[in-house]
Amino acid sequence: MKLLETYLFRNEDMMASEYFSDLNYTLSNEDTRIEFDLLPENCDRVFSIAGSGARCMPLIAKNPAVLDVIDMSVSQNYLCELRFQSMKSLTYEEYLFFMGYRGALQSGSDTGDDRVAMFNKLNLSEAAKKYWEERKNGWAPHGFILLGRWESHFQKLGYLFREVLKCDFSKVFAAQSLSEQIELYEKHWPKIRWNTFIKVAASEFVFNKYLYKGHFSGSDGHKTESRPPSQFIVEEFDRIFRTQLVRKNYFMQILFLGSIRHEEGLPLEAHHHIFEAVKKSNTKVNYLLGNLLEYLPKQKYSFISLSDTISYLSDQDANQVLQKLNKENTSGTCMVIRSFMRAAKEMDLTGWQELKDKNAWAAKTDGTGVYQFHIYKKS
pLDDT in tens, 218-250: 566 677 778 888 888 899 899 999 999 999 999
Residue 1 has pLDDT above 50, yes or no: no
Helix (H, G, I), strand (E, B) or coil at 59: helix
Q: What is the pLDDT of residues 294-353, one digit of tens each?
A: 999 999 999 999 998 888 888 899 999 999 999 998 899 999 999 987 888 899 999 999
**In the prediction, which pLDDT does 60 show?**
98
Which tops the pLDDT comparison, 59 or 202?
Answer: 59
- Using CA atoms, how far apart are residues 157 and 198, in angstroms rounded to an integer? 10
- What number is the average pLDDT over the span 46-74? 96
Question: How confident is residue 76, by pLDDT bands cut at 50, 70 and 90?
Answer: very high
**For 143-177, how does the pLDDT look when each residue is reduced to its tens digit (9 = 90+)?**
999 999 888 877 887 788 888 888 888 999 999 99
> What's the pLDDT score for residue 15?
36
**Other CB atoms within 10 A of residue 1 CB:** 9
* C-alpha distances in Å from residue 108, one per residue of 82, 113, 341: 22, 6, 46
Answer yes or no: is pLDDT of 141 > 50. Answer: yes
As a whole-number percent, the residues of the chain with pLDDT over 70 amount to 91
- Whether the per-residue pLDDT at 13 is higher than 60: the answer is no
What's the confidence (pLDDT) of residue 195? 86
**What is the pLDDT, as a whole number, of residue 214?**
62
Q: Is the pTM of this model over 0.85?
A: yes
Share the mean pLDDT of the chain.
Answer: 88
The residues near 301 (Cβ < 8 Å, ≥ 6 apart) are: 45, 46, 47, 68, 325, 326, 329, 333
Give the pLDDT of residue 12: 43
Q: Is 220 exposed, middle or buried (0-12, 13-18, 19+ CB in 10 A)?
A: exposed
**What per-residue confidence (pLDDT) applies to 87?**
98
Q: Is the pLDDT of residue 21 over 80?
A: no
Q: How many whole angstroms from its chain centre is CA 221?
A: 26
Is the pLDDT confidence value at 6 over 80?
Answer: no
Counts of helices then strands in the chain (DSSP H, E): 20, 7
